[in-house]
Structures are given as C-alpha cells and as structure tokens.
Amino acid sequence: MITKIKNITTFTAEDLFGILKTDFADYLNEKLDAAVTVDFAHVYDIIDVSFPEIIDGVAFFITVSEDEITVSGNNNTPANNSDVLEKQLTDFLKLSLN
C-alpha cells in the first residue's frame, strides 16, 4: 500500500529521520502497549523503516519530497504483520507534519 501525505511544513528527509529516531518508537510502543524495536536508515531522500523483531528486512520506505511524503510497504512483508505498523507510522507522520 502507498500512502501520500502533504509536506506542509517542508520537512527534509534529514529532519524527518531525526524525528523518527527520537520519537517514533516511544509513540508506537505507547499506542500498542508493547516494546517493539524500530530501526531506521537514511540515504538522500529515502528513509527505510524496519521492525527487526517482527518483520525480516525493511518493512517500509518513506520518500520525502518538497511537496509530499510517501510511505510505501515492502512487497515481501506479510500483510498481517504490517497493517497495524503502517497505520501507526502514517498516523505519527501526520501528527508530526502538522
């Protein structure tokens, strides 16, 4: 699934990478009442998001442009593991971007 979010405040990939690294795991774990490990990698305008204890490899790719932020899932990720994680990730991004 691909989700597009307007980049209203014009975050760069580097800005968003910093926010994700410092705040997303706490947000996710509070929402799920869990202790999920979240890893990130950042190259140019793409941020890879991984949940190594739940899903093998990269779960989501976040592409940042001046106009929008696109979240796309890795096609190799089982849907039952990724739906809840993707919803929490997109909800967090929408909160962070406004």
Q: How confident is the model over 7-21, as pLDDT tens digits? A: 777 889 999 999 999
Helix axes 25-32, 79-97, angle to 10 degrees: 120
Q: How confident is the model over 88-97, as pLDDT tens digits? A: 999 999 998 7
Alpha helices in the chain (DSSP H): 13-19, 25-32, 79-97
Average pLDDT, the chain: 88
Residues spanned by the domain of 36: 2-97
Cα torsion angle, 93, 53, 35, 84, sign = positive
With tokens 């940042």, the residue in question is: 64
- Any residues with CB less than 8 A from the CB of 23 and at least 6 apart, and which? 92, 96
Radius of gyration of the chain (CA): 12
Q: What is the pTM of this model?
A: 0.89
Identity of residue 1:
M
Q: How far apart are CA 41 and CA 7, in angstroms?
A: 20
Give how many domains the chain has, as a whole number. Answer: 1
Looking at residue 5, its pLDDT comes to 83
Q: Band the pLDDT of 79: cuts 50, 70, 90.
A: low
